[in-house]
Chain A
Amino acid sequence: MRVRDQAIRMAGWTWPARDVGMTKPEAGAPDSARVAALSDADDRTLVEAFRGGERSAFDIIVVRHRRQVYQLCYRFVSNHEDASDLAQDVFVRAFKGLQTFKGDASLATWLYRVAVNACLNRVASKKPASAPLEEAVHVDARAASPLDEVLRAERSDVVRRAIAMLPPKQRATLMLRVYQDCSNEEIAVALGTTVGAVKANFFHALGNLRRLLKKT
């Protein structure tokens, strides 16, 4: 069965005989039932339904991917407010761009690509961190955490700042690989580059990160 037909059947929508676009569901088909049916659909089906005019399909896409997109953005900007704004921007761009989404890559990979582009633009427009790592670390000891928790938090902050100092492509490669568990092929699609370049960038990212961390 074709994906579109599957989406239509699941959502209770009908296509006119001459395929002039999605029509409203028959009277009596409850919205909640349609949304419930779509919420179980795979990403490809949701994209098809959205492109056919089903707005609630996009809401489900947001719910399904917002956490991963937010986390990726957070790793770039290291603060909640900017990460939240960036993640919202990613989904607004996705809303506009999904009509042209070809489906060659997974929806998640495509969203990562949108997110990385948005993040790199934001990072490029901001002054890069220049303070030495050892001077920047400050953990509030009044948080009444055990000592090892404080030390761990300190070390995490050092590593986070070291990653922020990596060149943009290396940084994006490292994040997609380490935190989003993307394969080299998926990273290549997300960054618009080759698998060979991904491997090289990841190697250099780890090497540079090691050098930066050894300074502390």
Chain B
Amino acid sequence: MDALDDALDVPSRQHLAACAECQAELVDLRAVMTEARRVETPAPSPLFWDHFSERVREATAAQSLAPAARWWSGWMRPVGALAAVVGAVAFVVFLRPASPAPVNETASASYAAFEMPADDGSWGLVVGLAGELDLSDVRAVAAPAAGTVDAVLEDLTSAQRDALVRLLQKEMGDQ
């Protein structure tokens, strides 16, 4: 085919120049191509072309002509929505501001070892409650769900609740 296009590389050209068989083949193929090229298509009348354009116009008249799709339409729309959801979840899980340091078993144990002032019964109550807490409870408090705090307060006894109120009042009074 490169020979038909006069695009042979040097070695092939040298071979063609020396090979009578290949030369005859090339002449033959060129003759076939020339013969094929002679076949003409009958030209329709000029009136046909106007009629043809009109037919195409009628056939496409019912088609809507919407502007080209924008990047946010079509398949991009659900993908964008999914990316937004993933981003929001990632923000909450990994980048939540001022999230408390992870609590581990060692940290829990240190509550029991924490030395409280002997005269402060309120702190003793808090330390006692903290020592009884399960790690999962601590995590739940670190990231409380809606209503979790209310539920915890309702579980306190009246004595525990009074102690907590005193503790909070003392803390707020110190500030």
Binding site for B on A (CB under 8 A): 21-22, 50-53, 55, 58-59, 62-63, 66-67, 70-71, 74-75, 80, 84, 87-88, 91-92, 95-96, 99, 152, 155-156, 159-160, 163, 174, 178-179, 184, 199-200, 202-203, 206-207, 209-210, 213
Contact = CB atoms under 8 A, between A and B. Distances in A.
Contacts of A163: 36, 39
Contacts of A152: 38
A203 B38 contact: no
B41 A75 contact: yes
Contact of B52 (A74, A88, A155, A209): A88
9 closest A-B pairs by beta carbon, nearest first, are A199-B1, A51-B68, A95-B60, A21-B67, A91-B56, A74-B41, A210-B32, A156-B39, A206-B29
Contacts of B44: 70, 80, 84
A178 B33 contact: yes
Interface string B35-52: 111111110100011001
B63 A95 contact: yes
A112 to B, nearest CB: 15
Interface residues of A, dominant DSSP: helix
A63 B53 contact: yes
A179 B36 CA distance: 9
Given A63-B53, A199-B1, 9 more contacts: A53-B65, A53-B67, A62-B53, A71-B41, A84-B48, A88-B55, A99-B69, A210-B28, A210-B29
Interface residues of B, number: 30
B59 interface: yes
A210 B52 CA distance: 36
B66 interface: yes
A96 B42 CA distance: 29
A154 to B, nearest CB: 12
A88 B59 contact: yes
Contacts, number: 88
**Which of B28, B49, B65, B66 counts the most A-chain CB atoms under 10 A from its CB?**
B65
Contacts of B41: 71, 74-75
Interface in B1-46: 1-2, 28-29, 32-33, 35-42, 44
A184 B96 CA distance: 59
Nearest to A208: B32
B35 to A, nearest CB: 6
A156 B53 CA distance: 29
A159 B36 contact: yes
Contacts of A70: 44, 52
Contact of B1 (A51, A87, A202, A210): A202
Given A52-B67, A63-B53, A174 B59 contact: no
10 contacts: A21-B67, A53-B65, A63-B53, A66-B49, A70-B52, A75-B41, A91-B59, A95-B63, A152-B38, A209-B36
A74 B69 CA distance: 35
A202 B44 CA distance: 29
